[in-house]
Amino acid sequence: MPLLMPPSKLPAVGTTIFTVMSRLAAEHGAINLSQGFPDFSPPPRLLERVASHMAAGANQYAPMAGATSLREAIAEKAGALYGAGYDVEAEVTVTAGATQAIFTAVSAFVRPGDEVIVFAPVYDSYIPAIELNGGRAVVATLRFPDYRPDWSEVAALITPQTRMIIVNTPHNPSGAIWDAADMAELERLTCATGIIVVADEVYEHMVFDGRRHESVMRHPGLRERSLAISSFGKTYHITGWKIAYCLAPRELMAEFRKAHQYVVFAVNHPLQLALADFMRERTEFATELAAFYQAKRDAFRQQLAGSRFVLQPCAGTYFQLARYDAISDLPDTEFARWLTVEHGVATIPVSVFLPSGADNRVVRFCFAKGEATLAAAGERLRAV
């Protein structure tokens, strides 16, 4: 007798665009500037520390909240960079990637009927996490071409059902960053409310041209209601390790951990210990990342200088948006496929980040690549 399938909890969701484009790139031998991962190795010393801890026997479960040494290093970093004090035992948790941290935060606090405000273009995991937990995503628009928040729109979207606001700065896919005035507006709108802020700050160390990352941790009025999430994968070129972390006041973190322990329980133990060692040995690695990626941004922009792509501003992340309307009037999803198949460079269409499906003829390139990769991609793109 055939299985009687229940209705899908995510009827509008298929395979992610990142999987689709990476597969297409592999099939056609294209240079993959679509999915956001480096094509270069992590620091050798970090790999050495992993092997050392494995050989020393750290191959069993880590503590549920994370290895103590790593939580200590995370708390020290938050204090040094943002002047934020977090208790190592009660307010810092290591997670299996930032996506898990975001899903866990939503699971811990969002109930059926709750509303969660997100900003579109919106990273693709946010809305499914909300819907799987019975919530409703309410979309505020970051409007092309500058992708700035309209705080009057956000204010109008807040209702008694608003449980959470998810923010992302530096912003994927646009590369825009929020400034202190934006954080002040977010604080003003949420003060004296029960609204929880989830801050996706995985690109915190990739802010360019002398600007400053405005973490929620810098602002006491936001810090008291926020879960701040960052990623070792982005910082140390180890996206495949899937290790991130969450910092939050103890009342919020207690609820977060209730969900965390049943979503993943514990995270890879020897990798945690290696990261703790490396963070203490090379404290400057994270702070030097902005200059490292700014040089890559500038090199990629120079590669496209003779092309028909129109580059958008890029203040942070390792993504560069480009308009292609001087090249084609194809919808961006079709253009991305055409560019991959016919010209050998894979990219991401920005409309997939917009629940409305709005198409501004813009695609996203990842420039977290080696010099030879960027040069080869530039040669192909200038020929389009």
Reported as a single tens digit per residue, the pLDDT across 315-367 is 999 999 999 999 999 999 999 999 999 999 999 999 999 999 899 999 999 99
Domain spanning 17-42+287-382, CATH class: alpha beta
Mean pLDDT of the residues in the chain: 97
The domain made up of 44-284 has a fold known as Aspartate Aminotransferase; domain 2 (3.40.640)
Q: What is the pLDDT of residues 63-81, one digit of tens each?
A: 999 999 999 999 999 999 9
**DSSP structure class, residue 376:** H
Residue 202: what pLDDT? 98
What's the Cα-to-Cα distance from 309 to each of 284, 300, 328, 383, rounded to whole Å? 35, 12, 10, 11
The pLDDT of residue 47 is above 80: yes
Question: In the chain, which segments carry CATH 3.40.640.10?
Answer: 44-284
Predicted confidence (pLDDT) per residue in 93-146, tens digit: 999 999 999 999 999 999 999 999 999 999 999 999 999 999 999 999 999 999
351 closest CA partner among 326, 373, 321, 379: 321
User: How confident is the model over 39-44, as a mean pLDDT?
Assistant: 96
Residues carrying CATH 3.90.1150.10, the chain: 17-42+287-382
pLDDT at 37: 92
Q: Which residue has the tokens 């979503």?
A: 263
pLDDT at 1 > cutoff 80: no
No. of helices (H) and no. of strands (E), the chain: 15, 13
Q: Which of 2-6, 34-38, 348-352 has the lowest mean pLDDT?
A: 2-6
